[in-house]
Amino acid sequence: MRLLSSAFVALLAFARLSFAASSSGDSVLVLLDTSLDRENYSIFFGGLEKRGYSLTFRAPKDASPAITDYDVPNFDHVIFFSPEAKSYAQDITPQSLVGLLSEKTNLLIALSPKQTPLTSLATEFSLILPPPETPLISHHPARSERPTTIPVAVSSSSPLLTPGIPPVWFSGAPHALGNNPMLVPILRAPAESFAADSTDDTGADGIVDATEKGGEGLWAGSQMGLVTGFQTNVNSRVVFAGGIDLFSDEYARKELPSGTPSGNSQFARDIATWVFQETLTLRIDSVEHHRVNQTEAPEMYTTNDEIVYTAHISSYDSRTSTWKPYSGIGDLQLEFTMLDPHIRTSLPPVPGSPGTYQVQFRAPDRHGVFKFILNWKRKGYSYLSSSTTVPVVPPRHDGYPRFLSAAWPYYTGAISTSAGFFLFAALWLAGDVKGERKKVSKAE
Amino acid sequence: MILRLSWLLLAATVRAASLSLQSPRFTISASDATQLRSDTLSLTKKPEPLTLGATDTLKLTFQITDNDEGKGVQPHQTFLRFYDKVSGEEGIQPVRVTPGGKAKFELNMARPPTSIPPTTQNPLEVSLILGSFVHAPAKYDLFDIYLPASQTPAEHPDEASFHVLPTIEHTFRPEQKLPPQFISAVFAAAVLSPWVVLIGLWGKVGVRVPHLFSPSIVPFTVLLGGFEVLLVWYWVDLKLGQVLLYGGMLAIPTVFAGKQALYTTGEWRAGQK
């Protein structure tokens, strides 16, 4: 009985261990403001724990558990639910957070209309925040909540959101997006919303004055972002959300003005799965190159060789926690580069062989040291990059075309000479030896 | 559920004091103050799309009133929204409203405000957004307007790498051109012409080779033939090292066969003499 129960416990623990939804680890540090109650976010945190993450909670001013120990990150992901904290413990500074991202730790950060150290971090990621204490307001649609609690429609154009999410409730600060292509817009503000600090109609003049005074103008309209992601060069992800109430239980349970339930819980889950490297996570398993009709990669290629390049790409499947071959990339490109790309072709997937992309092309006329460069970057997806260096040499002395039709006279001449010599030698040895008899003349 | 809905309806009717737009009017005038177009705006149907040249001015006047009491109010939010449906660019321009509800907006294309979005050949849809803390909000589609095309917004230097890049094809050196095969065949035949002469003369003179198959010179002849075969084989297939090896192997018996052949020939000549 005891053996059975201990085996059962071991099996349970093992099952828990093997079910890790994220491709880069499942330990999460949550920095929760002391004024916030963990129970108010139970739907969000409970969803994370059910998918296999182990959450560790900490207040912003606590010194332990530290985020890094001697530049080695202690956690795989960090959630910042401390939108109003003005000061943090010593291990959290904007520089240390950027260092965390370089070490492939993902961050989920909730901002607020207040000015905090996280605001200056957001500016580093090309997000332009409004002046402090100007939350997002919208009088449309007519509803019974305060103007700062806004139902926002979720557009289906972002690849990381499941399609068909109902509108979500939002309250917080918007931000304007810079033109950095590494930004991934997730949720945009409604067209009628704007950032203002007035609480009654007499603030109308203040809004117009702020716009006319110049500077950034007014934070208004659907070009503003409310939740924006950023994917760094090392494929770590960070999401800035304009307010923390988006993740709260109250908004998840609140009904929209039309009477249907809100999409907050699904939306928060989609954001979390993207930031924690569960969805849209790709990697290159291996690349191969060889000549047509061969299988091994040669030490060097000759100009004008026909070369076959193959890439194996897989994506992470969070349901089975494994990397599965992925053939869904339709616009992969290969560059054959020596200082500048000499050849750029598309690398199409091979039908019937999942995860394999192959192309055949002819090596250029130039000799030199070339690189096969695979560099695929799209908003929301992991960046794929691979570079293989290979020499291309001119043909050897016997690599040129032979037996040309223009050389037939020369071939016949040489063969004719050889035949003539053989014939002369044979006939001279075999010939009649009658004194002064003249022998056969040499053939030319 | 129905009870909750009825409460909502009640709340809506209580706050039903909504904003409405009175006498909206626009005027387009050129830089020398001549009027190009002037009209009132109907709230139910959009007029013909307006066109604004690079030096023209658009003036828009309207009044915001309370629907119930009919007197002018100053709402919290009076925004003009310029939206390009094709490119998705948008610009929001707040309009100053007097406490009596009267509003005037002027757009001078010689000095456009910064809130106008980047424009292309497509028109901008202009709508008015009204919002207030005490009144129900309202939104009106006013008109479409064609503005002069602006410069495209500056792109980030890395932006191109996030899209498909143009295909690059390498131009190879053209294949070398050979003269026609017929010409080569004719000259190859010309090269063989001395053999024709030789065969002809031999026919006349007559060739006597009594010792051709004598066993003392056949080995040498055969080995010499072997050298010729090796030479042709080298031309077709072999590498230098292999040729030298085989040639060396062939050379040893050839030396002995050659000596034998020459001795025999010498004997014959000596014997004859």
pLDDT digits (tens, 9 = 90+) for B138-164: 899 999 999 988 888 888 999 999 999
In which element (H, E) is residue A325 found? Answer: strand A322-325
Query: How would DSSP label each residue in B235-254?
Result: HHT--HHHHHHHHHHHHHHH
Q: What is the pLDDT of residue A5?
A: 62
B220: exposed, middle or buried (C-beta count within 10 Å: 0-12, 13-18, 19+)?
Answer: buried
Give strand ranges (E) for chain B.
19-29, 35-40, 50-51, 57-66, 77-83, 90-94, 102-108, 124-131, 138-146
List the structure tokens of B152: 């495209």
Classify domain A2-275 at the CATH topology level. Rossmann fold (3.40.50)
A412 contacts chain B (CB < 8 A): yes
* DSSP 8-state class, residue A38: G
Q: What is the CATH number of domain B17-146?
A: 2.60.40
Q: Which two tokens stand for residue B168?
A: 């690059």
Q: Do A408 and B268 touch (CB under 8 A)?
A: no
Query: Which residue ranges make up each domain of chain B?
Result: 17-146, 197-272
A385/B contact by beta carbon, under 8 A: no
In angstroms, the separation between the Cα of residue A364 and the nearest Cα of chain B is 6
Straight-line distance from the first to the last Cα atom of chain B, in angstroms, rounded to the nearest whole number: 140
Burial class of residue B243, CB neighbours in 10 A (0-12, 13-18, 19+): middle
A window 76-135, beta carbon within 8 A of B: none
Residue with the two structure tokens 């680890």: A25
Report yes or no: B128 and B21 within 8 Å, Cβ to Cβ: yes
Contact B181 A427 (CB under 8 A): no
C-alpha atoms less than 13 angstroms from C-alpha of A391 in its C-beta half-sphere: 5
CATH 2.60.40.1930 fits A282-393, yes or no: yes
Residue A292 touches partner B, C-beta closer than 8 Å: no
pLDDT by position in tens, chain A (length 444) = 666 666 655 555 554 444 568 888 889 999 999 999 999 999 999 999 999 999 999 999 988 888 888 889 999 999 999 998 999 998 899 999 999 999 999 999 999 999 999 999 999 999 999 989 999 999 988 888 888 999 999 988 889 999 999 999 999 999 999 999 999 999 999 999 999 888 888 888 888 888 877 666 788 889 999 999 999 999 999 999 999 999 999 999 999 988 899 999 999 999 999 999 999 999 999 999 999 999 999 999 999 999 999 999 999 998 899 999 999 999 999 999 999 999 999 999 999 999 999 999 999 999 999 999 999 999 999 999 999 999 999 999 888 888 898 999 999 999 999 999 999 988 888 876 665 445 554 444
With CA atoms as reference, report the closest residue to B122 among B98, B96, B146, B95.
B146
Task: Give the span between the Cα atoms of A199 and A341, in whole angstroms.
Answer: 58
From A8's Cα to the closest Cα of chain B, the distance in A is: 46
pLDDT band for B232, please (50, 70, 90 cuts).
very high
Q: Is the ipTM of this complex over 0.90?
A: no
Contact at CB, A377 and B164, closer than 8 angstroms = no
Q: Chain B: nearest CA to A9, how far in angstroms?
A: 46
Count of pairs with CB atoms under 8 A, one residue in A, one in B: 204
Q: What is the spatial distance between Cα A283 and Cα A24, in angstroms, rounded to a whole number?
A: 12
Crossing angle between the packed helical segments A94-102 and A117-124, to the nearest 10 degrees: 50
Q: How far is B137 from chain A (nearest CA, A)?
A: 6
Residues from chain A that touch B95, judged by Cβ atoms under 8 A, are: 208
**Residue B86 corresponds to which tokens in the numbers above?**
């094709």
Q: Which among A140, A144, A429 is the nearest to B137, CB-wise?
A: A140
Residues of B in contact with A378 (CB under 8 A): 162
Residue B114 reports pLDDT greater than 70: yes
